[in-house]
Structure 1
Amino acid sequence: MRTDRRRRWVWIAAVVVGAALIAAVIAFNAMSRAQPDAGSQASSSPGPSQPTPTVTRPAPPLPTSTPLPSRSSDTMPELAPVEPTEPSDNDAGLVAEIVKMEAVQGEAVQAGDIAGPAVQFTLRIDNRSGEPVDLGLVAVNAYVGERRTPAVGLSRPGGAPFEGILRDGKSAEGVYVYNIPEKQRDDVTVTIDYRAGQPAFVFRGEVG
């Protein structure tokens, strides 16, 4: 009797174990089907991106330098020079002249100024051209010697540049100061540019 019960329990245990094994096999197969094959994954995934080839282009040629125009070029025309004591007429209704030259002691006020012996020029422009002239465009410069070395401009004493609009039939004055040593005053050039493209007034000779 005991032998029959023991066999029955052995048989039941075998059935339970077998069922568990079958369930494990089914679950394993289901998981294997759900996951894609590693080989197919590797074949379907894109490969590493290839670097874009760099195209080397020749560097553009360097621009050639253009020499600066000289004072006698067509871009910066000048009237024939006159003595500092004479008026200069541009034959277009404008007359410029140096009405006064005075030796002064230049004062250093701002950066670049050099205090020392200087010449103060009082300039006048008469307008009979039939049209207004913008004096804000006037540029006055002074040069020393044959090579026209630029003189340093000062604002004091008494500097008062041209400004405003000069109407037809009117005249205006401007005062300019330049650092010019006494021994260099025998050959000084003063220019008055009043409009781009128009010839500048030129005064050259002894000053001060």
Structure 2
Amino acid sequence: MSFTTDVTVSLVSVQATSVTAATPGEVSGPAVRVTVRVDNRSKKAIDVSSAVVSLAADKDGYGIGTTAGKPSPLQGSVAPGSTTSGSYVFMLNPAKARPVTISVNYAAGEPIAIFTGRTA
């Protein structure tokens, strides 16, 4: 999705997976890994450290963000003409072939990209 800000947000992949808890507070089970790409075609750097990605599913399901599965969120600044990507992991049961809506707000106060489809 392109914005009038000259920034393009896209989903690289939305994959069903299974994660194993490794630290206190994490939960093992079915999950979805979402990989997001941000292309900065503007004339100034953008900070994506405050990016917010969320996942909602059919039947009032909601993906719960987790640190299990080793997510690698968007971070830092993206220089003009550069691209960055990040991954997010959401607990969701069931996760495979499920209709989902993913919202991406790449920076505070900027437009929100909304994508719908099915997990792979």
The one-character-per-residue Cα deviations of 1:100-137 (angstroms, maximum 9, x if unpaired) are 232221223342x3311111111110000211111111
Distance 1:184 1:200 in 2: 25
Alignment partner of 1:115 is 2:18: no
RMSD, aligned α-carbons: 2.0
Distance 1:158 1:165 in 2: 21
Equivalent in the alignment of 1:100: 13
2:77 paired residue among 152, 157, 165: 165
* Structure 1 residue 157: Cα displacement: 1.8
Residues 145/184 of structure 1: CA separation in 2 closer, same or farther (3 Å cut): farther
Q: How many residues align?
A: 119
The one-character-per-residue Cα deviations of 1:164-204 (angstroms, maximum 9, x if unpaired) are 11111000010111112236753211111123332211111
Equivalent in the alignment of 1:130: 43
Residues 183/120 of structure 1: CA separation in 2 closer, same or farther (3 Å cut): closer
Q: Could you state the TM-score of these two structures normalised by the residue count of structure 2?
A: 0.85
The one-character-per-residue Cα deviations of 1:53-104 (angstroms, maximum 9, x if unpaired) are xxxxxxxxxxxxxxxxxxxxxxxxxxxxxxxxxxx11132111111123222
Larger fraction in helix? 1
Gaps of 5+ in 2: none
Which amino acid letter does the alignment assign opposite residue 116 of structure 2? R
Distance 1:178 1:135 in 2: 19
Task: Within 5 Å, give how 1:39-50 maps onto structure 2.
Answer: none
Distance 2:110 2:44 in 1: 15
Alignment partner of 1:193 is 2:117: no
Gaps of 5+ in 1: 1-87
Q: Could you state the TM-score of these two structures normalised by the residue count of structure 1?
A: 0.52
Distance 2:59 2:97 in 1: 12
Higher radius of gyration, 1 or 2: 1
Partners of 2:97 and 2:119 within 8 A in 1:
yes
Equivalent in the alignment of 1:84: none
Distance 1:183 1:175 in 2: 16
